[in-house]
Structure 1
Amino acid sequence: MIIKNHEPPHKLLVAESLKRRLITQHHFYGKVNEIFLMERAGFFGELKVDYPLSKLNFKHVIAHDLRLPFYQNYFQMDTLLLNPRILLILEVKNLPGIVSFDLTANKMIRTRDGVTDYYDDPVIQVKEQAFQLSEWLETHGYSNVPIEYLVVMANQETILDIDSSYHEHLEKVVPIYGLSQKIRSIYSSYSTDFITYSNLFNLGQLMVDHHTPAKVDLMKKLGITKENLIRGAFCPKCSAVPMMWKGRRWQCWSCNHRSLTAHLPGLKDYYLLLGDQISKQEFMWFMNLKSDRTAKHLLNKENLIKNGSARGITHELNYNLEKDFNDIIF
Structure 2
Amino acid sequence: MFLNERKKPYVILCYEALFRNLKETYRRNHKLIEDYKRFNAGYYGEKDVDYNLSLYPHKNFFILHDIRLKIFNKHFQIDTLIISKNFICILEIKNLAGEIEYDQELHQLIQKKGDKVIAIKDPILQAESQRMQLNTWLQRFNLTVPIETLVVSSNPSTILRIKQNDPDIYRKIIRTESLYLHLNELVKKYPENVLNKAQMKMISEIILNENSPKHPDLISKYNVQEQHLIKGIPCPACGHIPMNLLYKKWACPSCTTPGYKLHERYILDYFLLYNNTITNKQCRELLRINSPKSSYTILNSMNLQYIGKNSARKYLSPNVNDFPQNSDFPGKYKSVFDIFD
Q: How far did residue 305 of structure 1 move?
A: 3.9
- 1:152 counterpart = 2:186: no
AA of the residue aligned to 1:133: L
Q: In 2, Cα distance between the equivalents of 1:14 and 1:159?
A: 32
Cα displacement (A) at 1:119: 1.2
1:328 matched to which residue of 2?
327
TM-score, length basis structure 2: 0.88
Give the number of equivalent residue pairs.
328
> Pairwise mapping of residues 269-280 of structure 1 onto structure 2 (< 5 A)?
269-280=269-280
Greater displacement, 236-245 / 9-18 = 236-245
> How far did residue 173 of structure 1 move?
0.4
Aligned to 1:23: 23
Match of 1:47 in 2: 47
CA distance in 1, matches of 2:309, 2:263: 24
Q: Is the 8 A contact 1:22 1:29 kept in 2?
A: no
Instruction: Give the match's secondary structure for 1:212.
Output: coil
Deviation larger for 216-225 or 60-69: 216-225
Check 1:191–1:13 CA distance in 2 against 1; reply closer, same or farther (3 A cut).
same
* Greater mean alpha carbon deviation, residues 149-158 or residues 133-142: 133-142
Between stretches 181-190 and 22-31, larger displacement belongs to 22-31
Q: Secondary structure at the match of 1:75?
A: strand
Aligned partners of 1:97 and 1:112 also within 8 Å: yes
Asked whether the 8 Å contact 2:11–2:39 carries over to 1, the reply is: yes
Distance 1:27 1:241, change over 3 A: closer
CA contact (8 A) 2:42 2:94 kept: yes
Superposition map of 1:216-255 within 5 A: 216-235=216-235, 241-253=241-253
User: What corresponds to 2:100 in structure 1?
Assistant: 99
2:243 touches 2:252 (CA, 8 Å); kept in 1? yes
Does residue 114 (structure 1) correspond to residue 115 (structure 2)? The answer is yes
1:11-90 counterparts in 2 under 5 A? 11-26=11-26, 29-58=29-58, 59-90=60-91
Partner of 1:206: 206
Task: Tell me the alpha carbon deviations over residues 239-282 of structure 1, each in whole angstroms, 9 at most, x when there is no partner.
Answer: 65432212321123565432221000011110011102222221
Instruction: Name the aligned partner's letter for residue 247 of structure 2.
Output: G
Match runs of 1:259-298 below 5 Å = 259-298=259-298
**Percent of aligned positions that are identical:** 27
- 255 and 170 in structure 1: CA distance in 2 versus 1, 3 angstrom threshold: farther
Query: Residue type of the partner of 1:30?
Result: H
The aligned amino acid for 1:94 is N
Q: 1:310 to 1:165 in 2, by over 3 A?
A: same
Match of 1:134 in 2: 135
Q: Is the 8 A contact 1:15 1:33 kept in 2?
A: no
Q: Which residue does 2:314 correspond to in 1?
A: 315
C-alpha contact 1:243 1:253 (8 A) present in aligned 2: yes
Over aligned residues, Cα RMSD in angstroms? 2.3
The aligned amino acid for 2:91 is L
* TM-score of the pair, normalised by structure 1: 0.91
- Which ranges of structure 2 fall in alignment gaps of 5 or more residues? 329-334, 336-341
The verdict on how the C-alpha distance between 1:261 and 1:151 changes in structure 2, with shifts beyond 3 A counting, is same
Residue segments in structure 1 that go unaligned for 5+ positions in a row? none
Task: Classify the secondary structure of the residue corresponding to 1:68.
Answer: strand
Tell me if structure 2 keeps the 8 A contact 1:81–1:89. yes
Give a deviation string over 1:41-99, Cα, whole Å, max 9, x none.
Answer: 11111111122212323511100001111211011100001110110110111111111
Provide the rounded CA distance (Å) in 2 between the counterparts of 1:128 and 1:21: 37
Amino acid at match of 2:327: I
| Structure 2 CA distance for partners of 1:239 and 1:106, relative to 1, 3 Å | farther
Q: CA deviation at 1:32?
A: 2.2
Does the C-alpha gap of structure 1 residues 286 and 227 become closer, same or farther in structure 2, counting only changes over 3 Å?
A: farther
What CA distance in whole angstroms lies between the structure 1 residues aligned with 2:286 and 2:44? 31
Q: Which amino acid in 1 is paired with 2:63?
A: I
Question: CA distance change for structure 1 residues 53 and 138 in 2, over 3 Å: closer, same or farther?
Answer: same
